[in-house]
Structure 1
Amino acid sequence: RGNPSRPVQTRRQLATDPEMCMFALTVSTIEPKNIKEAMADSTWIEAMQEELHQFDRLQVWELVDKLFDKSVIRLKWLWKNKKDEDQTIIRNKARLVAKGYAQEEGIDFEESFAPVARLEAVWIFVAYAAHKSFPIYQMDVKTAFLNGPLKEEVCVAQSDGFVDLDHPEKVYRLRKALYGLKQAPRAWYDELSKFLTSKGFTKGTIDPTLFTIRFEDDILLVQIY
């Protein structure tokens, strides 16, 4: 437990502190090349479990019997060390993605297009905000694609290293999109767009990634990129 009366320290300050030594023990400096290497390191096992916990929390999938008329898309793990501005490893990130290249249009997905903000649009957005002296807030949505409900029925194999021992023959039917699926960007955009419009935002007619809402003399702009 930290001392509440102690000043907050940055990671740069912690570099010469015993706390940094303890912090270093909780992350791995080596990125696994395959599932065998990942399963041999407790820190990467924890990272993969954290990813699967997000799947459960967001109700991304359900374990079902394999459907004979549906193709099963395989999954793969990606492992990446996240670093801070000093290139110090601060987190081990594992991401489970679908091998979307095996998807067939009209069978596994109907539409994959999602509006994407052009760089020029972002420049105009920033320039307008600066001209009006508007504050700008930037944010990132954690595991964004896992929030997008799927319109199509998609089944994926169980992930390497985490196969249900009681039901190894079963597959997962997706309720929401996975990274790697061709329709994942579209599913996420549709969900975010629906949420913003339900809160009173208006979608741009020329730029569908720009949403606005007015409160009397005030205006709030949201640019998705």
Structure 2
Amino acid sequence: MEPRKSKRTKISKDFGPDFISYLTEEEPRTYSEAMRSPESPYWKEAIDSEIQSILQNNTWKLVDLPPGSKPIGCKWIFRKKLKADGSIDKYKARLVAKSYRQKEGLDYFDTYSPISQITSIRMLIAITVI
């Protein structure tokens, strides 16, 4: 049996003459690549900014590692944020945990994601109207 083919007509997508795509150099994939690049002062500033943000927001607590445990690693993610004209707006660095190495009940106990349901929002709006 042959696969079925769509009978819909294909429409080419044209974004018009005002649509411009910018190609940028690749961002560093590791900390050492960032420090070897000619843009290393900008990456260092982005890293310092991220660390200051982590400290100000009390994102992490330094604690002693329990005996027999292995620490979970982390990784730097580097991105260049661009302006509308394609020039570099800022250098952004994020420090992320390698959460794929975590084990439930050992490295973390609860997961929480703050979400709201549409029924809750409707109820709040109804109470406000009343």
Aligned residues: 102
Deviations 1:70-109 (CA, angstroms, capped at 9, x unpaired): 3311000000111123332211100000111101122223
Q: What stretches of structure 2 of length at least 5 have no aligned partner? A: 1-24
Alignment of 1:206-221 (within 5 A): 210=121, 212-213=124-125, 216-217=128-129
Give, as a single letter, the amino acid of the residue that structure 1 aligns with 2:70.
S
Displaced runs of 4 or more, over 6 A: none
Amino acid paired to 2:34: A
Matches of 2:44 and 2:67, distance apart in 1: 32
Alpha-carbon distance in structure 2 between the residues aligned to 1:54 and 1:97: 13
Residue pairs, 1:1-225, within 5 angstroms: 31-40=27-36, 41-112=40-111, 186-187=112-113, 189=114, 204=117, 210=121, 212-213=124-125, 216-217=128-129
Q: 1:88 to 1:214 in 2, by over 3 A?
A: farther
Point out the structure with the larger strand share.
1
Which has the higher Rg, Structure 1 or Structure 2? 2
Relative distance call for 1:32 and 1:68 in structure 2 (3 A) is same
Percent identity, aligned pairs only, is: 32
What letter matches 2:102 in structure 1? Q
How many angstroms apart in 2 are the aligned matches of 1:107 and 1:50?
31
What TM-score do the two structures reach when normalised by structure 1? 0.38
Structure 1 residues 105, 66: CA separation in 2 closer, same or farther (over 3 Å shift)?
closer
What SS does the corresponding residue of 1:61 show, helix, strand or coil? coil
Matching residue's letter, 1:75: C
- Please provide the CA RMSD for this pair: 2.9
Secondary structure of the 1:68 match is coil
